[in-house]
Amino acid sequence: MNNRQLSPIDRLLSGANDALRTIGAPAGRPARDNPAASIAESELSRTEKSHAAGLMRVNHAGEVAAQALYRGHATVARDDDIEQQMQRAAAEEFDHLAWCEQRIRELGEEPSRLSPLWYAGAYAIGAASGALGDKWSLGFIAETERQVCKHLDSHLDELPAEDNRSRAIVEKMRDEEAEHGESAVAAGAAELPGPVKQLMRITARVMTRTAYWV
């Protein structure tokens, strides 16, 4: 939906709807099939299952934040094409969110109880960096997706060797995060200053360490 055709009240309600859809698990049906759909479940020990669930909970929390970031950026984007690009990315991120949630439940656990916190924090950061202008907003997205790709690569190493269902989801997400980053660069992303990148890494570390457990 093009937000520019909406009144301020419509925008507010649409934003609240997006937020509730994201943090109110179950997230609902993804638009695309789960990449793990045709992959058989493997025999995992209790420890492996709980480790995989912890990693997928971290990834789910990341997708909650991705929803908020993209929606936050889209709300304040000045350029219609950029707003559309962000809404398209947010739609793909929503599938990631739903796939991660499905996998966490298959592993017998629940998404992070702190989802509202991840959403609120990321929305504020998204809207704040978006307010600086589209090139900074795109720069923030490009850097976020770069860091997320590295993080997902590390999870591909860390997941239990037998857990092919989680791995299929993480691989598909990693490919799409790379595309999101490339689109942001192609649309004119500015390179962020080093200290900002460092701050982003620290913030992400707090979130990933916490969401593994709660």
Residues in the site for Fe ion, rule: CB under 5 A?
Answer: 66, 93, 96, 177, 180
- What would the DSSP string read from start to end of 90-124? HHHHHHHHHHHHHHHHHTT----TTHHHHHHHHHH
CB 184, CB 74: distance < 8 Å? no
Q: How far is the CB of 152 from Fe ion (least distance, A)?
A: 9
Q: Which amino acid is at 134?
A: D
Q: Rounded to whole angstroms, how far apart are CA atoms 88 and 62?
A: 17
User: Is the Cβ of residue 48 or residue 200 nearer to Fe ion in the bound state?
Assistant: 200
Contacts of 89 (CB under 8 A, 6+ apart): 70, 141, 180, 183
Q: How far is the CB of 96 from Fe ion (least distance, A)?
A: 4
Contacts of 153 (CB under 8 A, 6+ apart): 174
User: Is the Cβ of residue 18 or residue 93 nearer to Fe ion in the bound state?
Assistant: 93
User: Is the Cβ of residue 167 or residue 180 nearer to Fe ion in the bound state?
Assistant: 180
Token representation of residue 86: 């962000």
User: Is the Cβ of residue 44 or residue 167 nearer to Fe ion in the bound state?
Assistant: 167
Q: How far is the CB of 128 from Fe ion (least distance, A)?
A: 19
User: Is the Cβ of residue 44 or residue 165 nearer to Fe ion in the bound state?
Assistant: 165
User: Is the Cβ of residue 155 or residue 180 nearer to Fe ion in the bound state?
Assistant: 180
- What would the DSSP string read from start to end of 24-43? SSS----SS--TTTTSPP--
Q: How far is the CB of 66 from Fe ion (least distance, A)?
A: 5
Q: Rounded to whole angstroms, how far apart are CA atoms 134 and 155?
A: 31
Q: Rounded to whole angstroms, how far apart are CA atoms 20 and 169?
A: 23
Q: How far is the CB of 213 from Fe ion (least distance, A)?
A: 21
Q: How far is the CB of 207 from Fe ion (least distance, A)?
A: 14
